[in-house]
Amino acid sequence: MAATITPSTLKLYLSDRLRDAILSGKYKPGDRLNESSIAREFGISRIPVREALFQLQESGLVTNQKHRGMFVTRLSEEDTQKINSVRMILESEALKLARARMTPETAATLTALVDKMEVWNGELSEAAAMDLEFHRNIWEASGNPHLVKSLESLVTVLFAHKTLEHVSYELRQWRLNHHRALLNAVLNPGETDIPGALLMHLRMAYKDPEKFSSMANALPPLSQSAAPKHRGTAAKHAVATR
């Protein structure tokens, strides 16, 4: 017998599908999420669509603009920096807990993900999905579901924006390859400063992620020698607009 679909399970199903659509780039930052169109797409009424959108609003992926409706959240550079300032506190804790609780199975999963990143040769959306999966596995390894929930709510919107960023293939690949350093920090107890490793990792993708945190000026600016030699016009545009 098929499982009964209740209003609550339908809302969760829709919110998951819409979240995936935002993270994959189907809906871009600033796009309006029309309840009627989405309802027609799924062959349902507008009520569960509205409930799913309100759930996504709570996670920060969707913004309710008065008298205009629901839109995919668009972040300014300052928004991104302020989110990252909180992210560094929460994710540093998740990394420390994951390191303390590390198991051979989790280490193997994380290593396999990084290995896959380093040979990636596909769609840009796939690169962003692997990036998010790596971080989610670390959050889960912390063993604290409340910490995981907080990071999901805070950080998912950042990954949505990075998915749609106009950067070169080379720069995207360069960023993926820098997950090895973060992995090494988690797998080698006592050898690496976790907050410093995370800050360096975030600096690979964001401009001054520590600007609104107590870690501002804690590390020197990212060396030009650490950056890829041929970023191209698209990458320069990304640096200017992040």
DSSP 44-89: S-HHHHHHHHHHHHHTTSEEEETTTEEEE----HHHHHHHHHHHHH
Which pTM does this prediction carry? 0.75
Tell me phi and psi for residue 52, to 5 degrees.
-65, -40
Residue 2 lies in a domain: no
The number of angstroms, rounded, from the C-alpha of 107 to the middle of its chain's C-alpha atoms is 21
Q: Quick one: 66 and 128 in the same domain?
A: no
Q: Quick one: 193 and 237 in the same domain?
A: yes
| 3 state SS of 129 | helix
Q: Quick one: 30 and 114 in the same domain?
A: no
The predicted pLDDT at position 2 comes to: 39
The predicted pLDDT at position 38 comes to: 95
Count Cβ neighbours within 10 Å for each residue of 42-66 and write b for 16 or more, e otherwise: eeeeeebbbbbbebbeebbbbbeee
Residue 1 lies in a domain: no
Mean of pLDDT values over 127-132: 84
Q: Quick one: 101 and 144 in the same domain?
A: yes
pLDDT tens by residue, 161-193: 776 555 566 766 777 788 999 999 999 887 678
Closest CA to 92 of 133, 150, 131, 161: 150
Highest average pLDDT, of 8-12, 25-29, 105-109, 190-194, comes from 105-109
More confident residue, 27 or 126: 27
Residue 210 lies in a domain: yes
Domain count within the chain: 2
Q: Quick one: 61 and 25 in the same domain?
A: yes
Structural domain boundaries, residue 18: 7-72
Q: Which of 72, 100, 117 is the last residue of a domain?
A: 72
Mean pLDDT for the chain overall = 83
Q: Quick one: 220 and 105 in the same domain?
A: yes
Q: Are 242 and 80 in contact (CB under 8 A)?
A: yes
Residue 87 lies in a domain: yes
Closest CA to 54 of 22, 18, 28, 78: 18
Residue 194 lies in a domain: yes
Q: Is the pLDDT assigned to residue 136 strictly greater than 90?
A: yes
Q: Quick one: 120 and 147 in the same domain?
A: yes
Q: Which of 45, 72, 99 is the last residue of a domain?
A: 72
Mean of pLDDT values over 87-110: 96
Q: Is the pLDDT assigned to residue 219 strictly greater than 90?
A: no
Q: Quick one: 154 and 81 in the same domain?
A: yes
Query: Whose structure tokens read 């999963």?
Result: 109
CATH number, domain of 38, equals 1.10.10.10
Q: Quick one: 47 and 86 in the same domain?
A: no
Residue 92 lies in a domain: yes
Q: Are 222 and 207 in contact (CB under 8 A)?
A: no
Q: Which of 72, 92, 117 is the last residue of a domain?
A: 72
Confidence category of residue 239, pLDDT binned at 50, 70, 90? very low
Q: Quick one: 162 and 213 in the same domain?
A: yes
DSSP 13-43: HHHHHHHHHHHTTSS-TT-B--HHHHHHHHT
Q: Quick one: 92 and 197 in the same domain?
A: yes
Sign of CA dihedral 120, 128, 42, 38: negative
Q: Quick one: 92 and 55 in the same domain?
A: no
Residue 223 lies in a domain: yes
Q: Are 83 and 208 in contact (CB under 8 A)?
A: no
CATH number, domain of 130, equals 1.20.120.530
Q: How far is CA 156 from each of CA 57, 73, 159, rounded to the nearest angstrom? A: 12, 11, 5
